[in-house]
Amino acid sequence: MKHPAITPRHSLEIDRAQMRERSLTDPLRPLWHITPPWGWLNDPNGLLVHPGPDGQDILHVFYQHNSHAPVHELIEWGHQWSDDLVHWQDPPVALTPGPAGADALGCWSGVIVEDERSDGRRVPTMVYSGHDGGPTQNCCVAVAREGDPLLRSWDKDVANPVIESAPQSVGADLPEMRDHTVWREAGRWYQVMGSGLPGQGKDGAQGGAALCFSSPDLREWTYEGPLAVGDGDVSATGTIWECPDLMRLEGPDGEVDVLTVAAWHQGDTMRSMWMVGQREGTRMTIERTGRMDLGENYFYAPQSLRLPDGRRVVIGWMQPNGTQEQRVAAGWAGSMNIPREVVLAQDGTVRFFPIREIDSLHLGEPVRLEGEEVDGAQLSGRSLDLRIAGVLGEAPIELDLLASQDGSCATRITLSRRQAKGMSGQEAWTGWLSVDRSSAADADSPWRGEDTRLLQGPVPLGSDGVVEMRVLLDRSSLEVFVDGQPLSVRVGADPSHDQVRVRAAGLEHATLRAWQMSEAYTSGRLEA
CA distance 320 to 489: 9
Question: Distance between CA atoms of 180 and 495, rounded to whole angstroms?
Answer: 39
* 486 has pLDDT over 90: yes
How confident is the model at residue 253, as a pLDDT?
Answer: 84
Give the confidence band of 125 by pLDDT, cuts at 50, 70, 90. Answer: very high
Task: Give the per-residue pLDDT at 1.
Answer: 44
Confidence band (pLDDT; 50, 70, 90) for 118?
Answer: confident
Could you give the CA distance from residue 306 to residue 232 in angstroms, rounded to a whole number? 30
User: What's the average model confidence in pLDDT over 79-102?
Assistant: 96
- The CA distance from 86 to 461, in Å, is 29
b/e for 454-485, b at 16 or more Cβ within 10 A?
ebebbbbbeeebebebbbbbbbbbbbbbbbbb
Question: Can you spell out the DSSP letters for 50-87?
Answer: EE-TTS-EEEEEEEEEESSSSSS-S-EEEEEEESSSSS
The predicted model scores a pTM of: 0.96
What pLDDT, on the 0 to 100 scale, is given for residue 174?
Answer: 87
Write the DSSP symbol of residue 260: E
CA-based angle 359:56:96, to the nearest 5? 90
Q: Residues 140, 75: contact at Cβ < 8 Å? A: no
Amino acid 5: pLDDT = 59
Judged against a pLDDT cut of 90, whether residue 378 lies above it is answered with yes
What dihedral angle (degrees, nearest 10) is formed by the CA atoms of 474, 478, 480, 484? -80
Average pLDDT of span 207-229 = 96
Cα dihedral angle (317, 297, 183, 148), rounded to 10 degrees?
-10
pLDDT at 2 over 80: no
The predicted structure's pLDDT at residue 7: 66
Once rounded to an integer, what is the mean pLDDT over residues 390-414?
97
State the Cα–Cα distance between residues 178 and 50, nearest whole angstrom. 26
Q: Which SS3 state, helix, strand or coil, does residue 357 take?
A: helix
pLDDT (tens digit per residue) in 234-293:
999 999 999 999 999 998 888 999 999 999 999 999 999 999 999 999 999 999 999 999
Specify whether the backbone of 331 is left (phi greater than 0), alpha (psi in -120 to 50) or beta: left
pLDDT the model gives residue 9: 81
Q: Is 131 helix (H, G, I), strand (E, B) or coil?
A: coil
- C-alpha dihedral (164, 167, 169, 172), degrees to nearest 10: 160
**Lowest-confidence pick of 40-44, 460-464, 514-518:** 460-464
pLDDT over 50 at 14, yes or no: yes
The pLDDT mean for the chain works out to 95
Neighbouring C-beta atoms of residue 109, cutoff 10 Å: 28
Q: What whole-number distance in Å separates Cα of residue 222 and Cα of residue 494? A: 54
Going by C-alpha positions, the residue among 481, 243, 197, 224 that lies closest to residue 352 is 481
The tens digit of pLDDT for each residue in 291-338 reads: 999 999 999 999 999 999 999 999 999 999 999 999 999 999 999 999
Is 443 exposed, middle or buried, given 0-12, 13-18 or 19+ CB atoms closer than 10 A?
Answer: exposed
Q: Detail the DSSP E strand segments found in 203-311.
A: 207-215, 222-229, 240-251, 254-265, 268-280, 283-291, 300-306
Least confident of 138-152, 157-171, 299-313: 157-171
Q: Which residue has the higher pLDDT, 13 or 121?
A: 13
Written as one letter, the residue type at 231 is: D
Q: How far apart are CA 359 and CA 459, in angstroms?
A: 24
Ramachandran angles phi, psi of 505, nearest 5°: -65, -30
3: pLDDT strictly greater than 60: no
